[in-house]
Amino acid sequence: MSYLFTSESVSEGHPDKVADQISDALIDNFLAFDKNSKVACETLVTTGQVFLAGEVKSKTYLDVQQIARDVINKIGYTKSAYMFDGNSCGVLSAIHEQSPDINRGVDRSSPEEQGAGDQGMMFGYATDETDNYMPLALELSHRLLIELALLRRENSDIDYLRPDAKSQVTIEYSDENVPQRIDAIVISTQHDDFDPSDAVMLARIKKDLIGILIPRVVAKLPADIQKLFTDNITYHINPTGIFVIGGPHGDTGLTGRKIIVDTYGGKGGHGGGAFSGKDPSKVDRSGAYATRHIAKNLVAAGLCKEVLVQVSYAIGVATPTSINVETYGTATVALTDGEISKKVATLFDMRPYFIEQRLKLRTPIYSETAAYGHMGRTPEIKIVTFSNPMGETVSEEVETFTWEKLDYVDKVKAAFKL
């Protein structure tokens, strides 16, 4: 019997995502000037205020207030009418030095023996139902909001949009776990103020999102996904009626409160640890990226159609306490999942130092991860530039989303004789 599955996404202007983006901008600036920085920073945003807290060990000094303001302005909170804007909000920093007890467990005389920055388990997932090996409901939820943000910045066809927004997509699957159609789409977008009784304006928002946004999204999708957009989709557009009060004025935002949006939309598993605001010594982040890298390469190599990879660590210990692979019965080789797990452990060195090296994680690449998902993105090589209060400016070439590269497909095929 067919079934429904739903995933959601939130825009870059959602208060939790504002907090994530500030935290990751701090990570990038610390790493730009000191590659060995150890950082765990959290951000809280609310009406007219930003609070920064956390622990840092670094040789550099940053103007964290200005970094926060720049992020807020870039997102689009630039008007006093929003009750939160980058130029006028207060920014309070309570960032202090990292605990030596934590640092003792990470740093080693031999870099290769670097210990995990925390205990815990991390998951990576991949499926062949989309070209980027991501769950379809989440992929579409992200795409809706990415396109909505483009429309907002164009300020042409739709000129009333504000930065905060949420989306949700429900997919009908067959018994064979194949997407059949889109059952429902929910979009709530913040907009400029108008009379709540203005039925014409409410109707215009619904008409614009269904008639302008949806076709733009569909046009950028592969043909097989376009076919899922039928005339039988149920749309819920701003179902509460109006959405003027939003962003940090409408709801307090915190770093790390959208971890399912950040990963797989409820598919697979999640260890519970957030990513944003953490340098790569924190295995909550690097371990999750590494397991996604494994999962994506396993599916792309044809080993299975769907896979969940788990890794776990003890704080201060380099070697993982476990590596587990679950193929959901889709493996194409005559091996148990336990046997597959053992082979995977020999292919991918999951000690923290080697993850950092393999995926080039000690570079300032994290700001882009903080909205629209950490997984399923396209790797790019680009030049980034940072400045600090001492008048220093650094530029370097970085590679983003390295955990999305299919650079182990041949190794997987050789190991499993595919």
Residue ranges for the known binding site for K(+) are: 42
Indicate the annotated binding residues for ATP.
Answer: 14, 164-166, 251, 257-258, 274, 278
Indicate the annotated binding residues for L-methionine.
Answer: 55, 98, 251, 282
HSE, CB side, 13 Å, CA atoms: give it for residue 353.
14
What pairs with residue 374 in β-bridges?
Answer: none
Question: Could you identify the residue written with the tokens 């889109």?
Answer: 182
Count of C-beta atoms within a 10 Å radius of residue 101? 9
Indicate the annotated binding residues for Mg(2+).
Answer: 16
The Cα 311–Cα 284 span in angstroms is 10
List of residues 6+ apart from 83 with CB closer than 8 A: 47, 48, 245, 247, 249
What is the residue type of 316? G
